[in-house]
Amino acid sequence: MEDLKNEKNSSRKTNKLKYPIIGLALFMLGVLTLFGIRFTTYKSDDVHFHANFALYINGTKDDFKNFSFYKEVAACDVHNIDDVEARVHMHDNNPGLIHVHAHGVSWGAFFSNLGYTLGNKAVTTDAGTYIDGQDGNSLKFLLNGEKVSSIQNKLIKTEDVLLIDYGKDSDQVLKEHFKKIPTDAREANNSSDPAACGGNEDSGMMKRFKSALGLQTQ
């Protein structure tokens, strides 16, 4: 009889320990499941893509040689959308590759960051202002090989190629200028781009891990 009583007491103690352990195990399973879902479904909201361009004035290509045209990597903050220069800029003395770090960035905004002014009927550089129709010259735009009448408010899209030409160049010359524009935007899109803004960002895996834990990834 005493043995039966002891067995029942032992069983009660075992049950008291078993239920919390089961509850803890279920809780941990739920946490791991949530972590796994967040980890596998994470999508970065960072923006970083590239485009190419060239500017010709009276047959001469603007090479943007001054260092002031290029964003210092150390001063970059790709997440500070209030910094207009962080949104779109150039790097590493590459006069033709544009780095875009925000949605809704126009060609006009990019040229403004260079200290230039790009309108649909005029362009202002560090050498002066050039107006469409002045002295028989015209301001023309070729976007991805097609003539467009306005460019100022068009949004820059990934791997766009833009030619801006002021002067008396024929359509054939415009096509030749366009063909000479380097098209390294795609290569830049597919590389880690360590020298540009974002080179010091967390790796994609680390961002995914932080997101899964509910931590900020910015």
Model pLDDT for residues 186-203, shown as the tens digit of each residue: 999 998 654 455 443 444
Q: Where are the alpha helices (DSSP H) in 68-131?
A: 84-87, 107-113
Q: What is the mean pLDDT of residues 44-48?
A: 69
What share of the chain has pLDDT > 70, as a percent?
63
Q: What is the mean pLDDT of residues 81-87?
A: 75
Task: Report pTM.
Answer: 0.69
Q: What is the mean pLDDT of residues 35-45?
A: 49
Any idea which of 125-134, 153-162, 204-213 has the lowest mean pLDDT? 204-213
Q: State whether residue 211 is helix, strand or coil.
A: helix
Q: How many CA atoms lie within 13 A of 193 on its CB side?
A: 24
Residue 214 pLDDT class (50, 70, 90 cuts): low
Q: Rounded mean pLDDT of the chain?
A: 79
Residue 175 predicted with pLDDT over 70? yes
Dist CA 216 CA 201 (whole Å): 13
Strands, E, within 73-194: which ranges?
88-89, 97-100, 117-118, 122-125, 128-131, 138-143, 146-148, 161-167
Sign of CA dihedral 110, 113, 114, 117: positive
Q: What is the mean pLDDT of residues 46-70?
A: 94
Residue 127: what pLDDT? 94
Model pLDDT for residues 65-77, shown as the tens digit of each residue: 999 999 875 445 4
Residue 28: what pLDDT? 67
Residue 39 predicted with pLDDT over 50? no
Q: Contact, 160 vs 144, CB < 8 A?
A: yes
